[in-house]
Amino acid sequence: MRIAVIGTGYVGLVTGACFSEMGNDVYCVDADENKIESLKSGIIPIYEPGLSAMVAANAACGRLKFTTSLPEAIKDSELCFIAVGTPMDKDGGADLRYVLAVAKEIGQNIDKYLCVVDKSTVPVGTADKVRAAIRAELDRRGVSIEFDVASNPEFLKEGAAITDCMRPDRVVIGADSERAAELLRTVYEPYVRNTGNFLIMDIASAEMTKYAANAMLAAKISFMNEIAGICERVGADVNKVRLGIGSDSRIGYSFIYPGCGYGGSCFPKDVEALIKTAEHHGFSADLLKSVTSVNDRQKHVIGNKVKAKFGNDLIGRKFAVWGLAFKPDTDDMRESSAITIIRDLVEAGATVAAYDPKAADEAKNRYLKDLPNIDYCDSKYDTLRNSDAMILVTEWKEFRSPDFYEIKKRLKIPVIFDGRNQYDAKLLDKIGIEYHQIGVKR
């Protein structure tokens, strides 16, 4: 099948690569000429395990092409996936300008039937707006061309996106025509052959499913962080509480790890967008507001622990920070807890030595470029020299079993602040390292 994917960001590039991997002819479109030229040259703008090799292999055999021309991409295509960004608007809602701009251009150029699929994370009602934008351009041209608009929300986890795309837990389709539903069933059949988990529903429900899924996961994280705060004050150990409640099959262990807050491109933006959607329809999403406020507060917990140990004035202090990305196996720093933690330390007068296997350039060139007193190191142990403490922010695999004796030797003061509760408190106590966790009173 010939498929057009509009947008070569995280979702669009992964989706296009995985469609081509199954033998489809895919055109990936982006308005950024430099990005397209880089992709043609084999330069991938994001880090995602397995993506570079998949793009290279399918581009080499001609199944995956890159262009700045939407008309070229949709010519002879049966499906067109819109995968452009939907950043947070000024009021917290989803900014649909890029989605609707694509819809307008589609309306200006289609000359035969096309199924247009919203792959971007968009609020309920977006498919209607896309349909109206396409229809308006067709009316302006004075032509009548049949088309469908469907919803196919993505459920990709950064760091595991290729696996999620090739072997999805479920494929959710929102469609109001049998033709659109069958086209999407055909293209996704190889991906769900083993599970059969292909869910067709109305468009509004499909649009809502994505937001509801992310809001639920964010709520679990904030709930556990709230419990951690209580545990720390009453003398309970949140790590033991987590095991106690996770063993209940109704709750499970996923997304109930205490930590220094969630980040990324999805959870913060999508929870805010769902809150705004509710408000636009006269409903106050009070639980979701609390999820956000708990998470905002949680990002300051490590900074507060550091100040409780060393004082509010951190002038002359240096701290080693392990991890900058919002999660392992990505270079994405959007809404990362590391940004808040490092800002708290620097604004209190401290110097920071930071290391991340993939996200250092993102920090230097974008997210932390305006902050002084940050040194970026080439290894995790290099950050420890003359540092007063080590702070773990991102649970990369290489941080999980470090040489604690080496850490103790290199630090000025043997102290670890663990923002992800990764380490064995008894082991560190035996070695002689002062250990501060989330949700455990010292």
Length of the chain: 442
What are the phi and psi torsion angles at 157 (to 5°)? -100, 125
Structure tokens at 440: 């455990």
Strands 434-436 and 198-201: unpaired
Phi, psi at residue 432, to the nearest 5°? Answer: 100, 30
| Catalytic residue (one of 115, 260, 266, 377) | 266
Interatomic CA distance for residues 116 and 217, integer angstroms: 29
- Strand runs labelled E in 180-229: 198-201
- Cross-strand bridge partners of residue 148: 115
Q: If you search the block for the tokens 């004796």, which residue do you land on?
A: 405
Pick from 61, 87, 77: which is nearest to 29 by CA?
Answer: 77
Task: Answer yes or no: are the C-beta atoms of 324 and 333 closer than 8 Å.
Answer: yes
Q: Are 217 and 257 in contact (CB under 8 A)?
A: no
The tokens for 310 are 């060393």
Q: Rounded to an integer, what is the distance from CA 261 to the centroid of its chain?
A: 13
CA distances from 64 to 68, 139, 208 (A): 14, 33, 31
Do the beta carbons of residue 377 and residue 324 sit within 8 Å?
no
- 386, exposed or middle or buried, with CB in 10 Å at 0-12, 13-18, 19+? exposed
Catalytic status, residue 28:
no
Look at the block and give the residue holding tokens 């795309």: 165
Q: Which residues are catalytic?
A: 266
